[in-house]
Structure 1
Amino acid sequence: MKQIKTIIWIAIPVVLCLFSTASTAQDATEIIKKADQKWNGEKSSRGQMTMTIVRPEWKRTIVFKVWTLGDAYSMTLITKPAKEAGQTFLKREKEMWNWMPSIGRMIKLPPSMMGDGWMGSDYTNDDILKESSMVTDFVHTIIKEETIDEIPCWVIEMKPKEDAAIVWGKVVKWISKDEEYLMLKSTYYDEDDILVKTEYGKEIKDIGGRKLPTRIEIIPAEKDNQKTILITNEIEFNIPIKSGFFSQQQMKRLRK
């Protein structure tokens, strides 16, 4: 009987530990899901954004519109500068395309290009086209809690699942602990666990019927005087839009 009691007392902490780990993992995934829905919209979205690419010797600005439907569809139309206006990017399920009206050519983007900088910026093609899902393609773990600009945050480590086509070795996100689930900071690492870039969410405002950071700054590691700034000028969520909108024919029809 004494042996049985000893086994029980040893087993209880182990079981509680396993339960606690499973619960934390579930909580972390739920937090990421709510943060993702907050930014991308539960069903669909439409927005207009301004991106400024800053380099040591030059700076340029790109204005574009974007439409999304769930995780499977997205369309991005460049409206400025005039030289690149009309260029369109499409993600439809697992296929990605780029329409270049200046040369009348449709280009299919291979998965190997997802880690490349979009339009020469510090955003990747994957950031813009959303090939990967931060909810379903990663394993999430709460690793600590920190405060950013006096806002308490969960710090969640995201590691790619084995079968996911992810360009990062891991991603760490700081998400506000209030009901807003704001993504205030993200760090991106390569497969050797070396920091590649840091992303900051700033200028929190009410926009599109919800509170969001309207200014995103991406700062690459070990590159002085270089960054990309993304300003959300306007955005609507859960708009009526069908999957048929996301087609190669529509890419050619879109106008600024």
Structure 2
Amino acid sequence: MGHYFTTFIIILIFSVFSMPVSANSEAVALLKKIDELYRSDSSVSTMKMHIVTPNWNRTLELQSWTIGMDDTFIRILSPKKDRGVATLKKGREMWNYFPKINKVIKVPPSMMMGSWMGSDFTNDDLVREVSLVKEYNVQMTESSDQYQLVLIPKKDTVTVWARIDVLVEKEGLLPVEQNYFNEKGEKVRSMYFSNVRDFSGKKIPATMSMVPHNKKGHKTEFEYIKLEFNNDINKGVFTLRNLQKRVQ
């Protein structure tokens, strides 16, 4: 009885989505689009991060520079007590700089899934160290108005996620929701995309809200205020010397 009931539930869940609609290459192409949505060849952006917990709230203003998937530099502009805190990522190496103690701390691989500045986003989320296309196998199904990308980590991928599901609206091909599952199949957190805006002629969701399902009352909202693509960025931005630059 239990076996047949489980089978029925699985069939019911997947009845919302059809069987794979296309060759794997089409699923990979859509995932690549999502992977590069906020980066392009290069980008310069100003963002706000609003962190909500049951006991306190706070808002950070950030500025970020990126080149491809490899180089990222983020500096906090406000509030005053955090101004100058910075993060640099080159390849698979990452450092944080804390001006109050004038110290650079290298982030070990084991800490990439740790919280960034007390938010619900991880270090990896902020610098997008992992390329989803390179690190995950993907299958695609569809409903009447959405595609569902099911991502399973490749054999050599180091990650805490056993599966990531990405829901993409057919009209516009933009993500609306991204769900993260652990090895037990439990949905640990969800990221919701909203507030589609035009940045440099490219329409993207300007707001991303990360909600952890194991921490009641917690949410982090990340919003792009300005975002420019394909800028000519000086490589000197992505250096340890720039990381330690004092901000007045």
CA displacement at 1:23 relative to structure 2: 5.3
Work out whether residues 114 and 167 of structure 1, in 8 Å CA contact, stay in contact via their aligned partners in 2: no
Within-5 A mapping of 1:194-213:
194-213=186-205
The counterpart of 1:48, out of the listed 39, 42, 46, is 46
CA displacement at 1:85 relative to structure 2: 0.8
Work out whether residues 170 and 188 of structure 1, in 8 Å CA contact, stay in contact via their aligned partners in 2: yes
Residue in structure 2 matched with residue 120 of structure 1 by the alignment: 118
191-200 or 83-92, larger mean C-alpha shift = 191-200
Number of equivalent positions: 230
% same residue: 32
Distance 2:226 2:128 in 1: 19
Residue in structure 2 matched with residue 175 of structure 1 by the alignment: 168
CA displacement at 1:89 relative to structure 2: 0.5
Distance 2:38 2:129 in 1: 16
Distance 2:127 2:199 in 1: 22
Given the superposition, is the C-alpha separation of residues 122 and 155 from structure 1 closer, same or farther in structure 2, using an over 3 Å criterion?
same
Instruction: Give the TM-score normalised by structure 2.
Output: 0.87
Residue in structure 2 matched with residue 241 of structure 1 by the alignment: 233
The counterpart of 2:95, out of the listed 94, 97, 115, is 97
Instruction: Give the TM-score normalised by structure 1.
Output: 0.84
The counterpart of 1:87, out of the listed 85, 88, 97, is 85
CA displacement at 1:192 relative to structure 2: 2.3
Distance 2:51 2:98 in 1: 21
Distance 1:123 1:30 in 2: 26
Question: Where does structure 1 lack aligned partners over 5 or more consecutive residues?
Answer: 1-19, 147-151
Within-5 A mapping of 1:86-165:
86-145=84-143, 152-165=145-158
Once superposed, which parts of structure 1, at least 4 consecutive aligned residues long, lie more than 6 Å away? none
CA displacement at 1:135 relative to structure 2: 1.7
1:28 aligns with 2:38: no
Deviations 1:95-150 (A, max 9, x none): 1111111101111100111111111111011000211111211111113336xxxx
Structure whose alpha-carbon radius of gyration is higher = 1
1:230 aligns with 2:229: no
Q: Which amino acid in the other structure matches residue 35 of structure 1?
A: I
Residue in structure 2 matched with residue 7 of structure 1 by the alignment: none
The counterpart of 2:206, out of the listed 199, 214, 224, is 214
Deviations 1:75-105 (A, max 9, x none): 1101111111101101101111111111011
Q: Which amino acid in the other structure matches residue 33 of structure 1?
A: K
Q: Which amino acid in the other structure matches residue 95 of structure 2?
A: W
CA displacement at 1:183 relative to structure 2: 1.3
Partner-residue secondary structure (3-state), 2:84:
coil
Partner-residue secondary structure (3-state), 2:26:
helix
Q: Which amino acid in the other structure matches residue 26 of structure 2?
A: D
Work out whether residues 99 and 246 of structure 2, in 8 Å CA contact, stay in contact via their aligned partners in 1: no
Distance 1:51 1:196 in 2: 21
Work out whether residues 53 and 228 of structure 1, in 8 Å CA contact, stay in contact via their aligned partners in 2: yes
CA displacement at 1:237 relative to structure 2: 0.5
CA displacement at 1:224 relative to structure 2: 2.4
Distance 2:21 2:246 in 1: 46
Work out whether residues 21 and 140 of structure 2, in 8 Å CA contact, stay in contact via their aligned partners in 1: no
Work out whether residues 132 and 165 of structure 1, in 8 Å CA contact, stay in contact via their aligned partners in 2: no
